[in-house]
Structure 1
């Protein structure tokens, strides 16, 4: 139910933006996203399996509002180790750890005005909710948990005009989410992200 309410809210905001800014172009983009976890004790291996889809509506020549959905899949092998929870006993095993994240944000971007018509730098921020799933596989057993948290995503980047209606997109962002999981010793999820993609301007 929370996911449905969040999605409806995002769609409503985008619809509102479109109805109040019909004289400026739309930007729709899809990009490959590489993510580097920065704070989790659970895993620290880079995710090369990620992406982002976003929509931006220009309110004027320098500002846009919109929505974005990203996803990242992290996986890391951990060698044999003894785990003792202090209550139920101890187990010695190797382990495969996984984290899947899905931040859904409303976005705002400011575009710097330059004389260069090809290169359009910007700064922005996304605010919203993040779904996260954590998995641990050891021997014949597995543990799975999922949760929601608030996410903030400041970013900097640029649009690179290739031709009429087509642009490249490059950006870096820092994903800060409040997802917690005591069982997996996760107190918030943070990751540095790099995006490379293509945008349609229409």
Structure 2
């Protein structure tokens, strides 16, 4: 089920990006922007799937209400996983000894507000993102899989810069750093997740 969900989401994101990039190429509207790229994520303050990971991507889009302030939306995906050595887990009078692979999948989406400091070749900006976060926490064992899904509130400040190296300035590169927090609560074998904290980097393209 999880594999089907991720594949379907990949197709949806690709279709959205293809549509948006085609629209921008046709209209070249200076107030609209679209960004998509690779995401590197580092979990913070957690003992569950705490290893950093580059298995993620992001998509942002928006409209500049003024020369500096924009309102838009975002959609991200990320997966972190970590192998845990064999341990003994006890619940009541039952115990089990096993190793496991811990994994956390996150799918936040929502609205964003951005302020850019300049409208030049280098365009630094700050943004705030608010929305919802879908999460899957899983313990993968040799004999099966324990999984817990949850929804939570998502908030993320971001600092970044868009670089337009070409004269027409309709195509460029996006670099950003972010912190995110989601209120998701989940439990898995031998662990409980009480909120998701992350820091990370984004590298992509912008139109």
TM-score band by shorter chain is 0.7 to 0.9
The aligned counterpart of 1:175 is 180
The aligned counterpart of 1:48 is 54
The aligned counterpart of 2:195 is 188
CA contact (8 A) 1:110 1:123 kept: yes
Pick aligned residue for 2:72 from 37, 54, 66: 66
Pick aligned residue for 2:140 from 129, 137, 146: 137
CA contact (8 A) 2:70 2:114 kept: yes
Partner of 1:41: helix, strand, or coil?
coil
The aligned counterpart of 2:26 is none
Residue 121 (str. 1) matches residue 124 (str. 2): yes
Partner of 1:185: helix, strand, or coil?
strand
The aligned counterpart of 1:10 is none
The aligned counterpart of 1:5 is none
Q: Tell me the TM-score normalised to structure 1 length.
A: 0.83
**Count of residue correspondences:** 175
Residue 108 (str. 1) matches residue 110 (str. 2): no
Q: In 1, Cα distance between the equivalents of 2:180 and 2:37?
A: 16
Which consecutive residues of structure 2, in runs of 5 or more, have no partner in the other structure?
A: 1-28
Pick aligned residue for 1:80 from 80, 86, 89: 86
The aligned counterpart of 1:198 is 205
Residue 90 (str. 1) matches residue 101 (str. 2): no
Q: Tell me the TM-score normalised to structure 2 length.
A: 0.81
Q: Write the deviation string for residues 61-99 of structure 1: whole angstroms up to 9, x where unpaired.
A: 1100100000001111111111112x1411111101111
Residue 160 (str. 1) matches residue 158 (str. 2): no
The aligned counterpart of 1:146 is 149
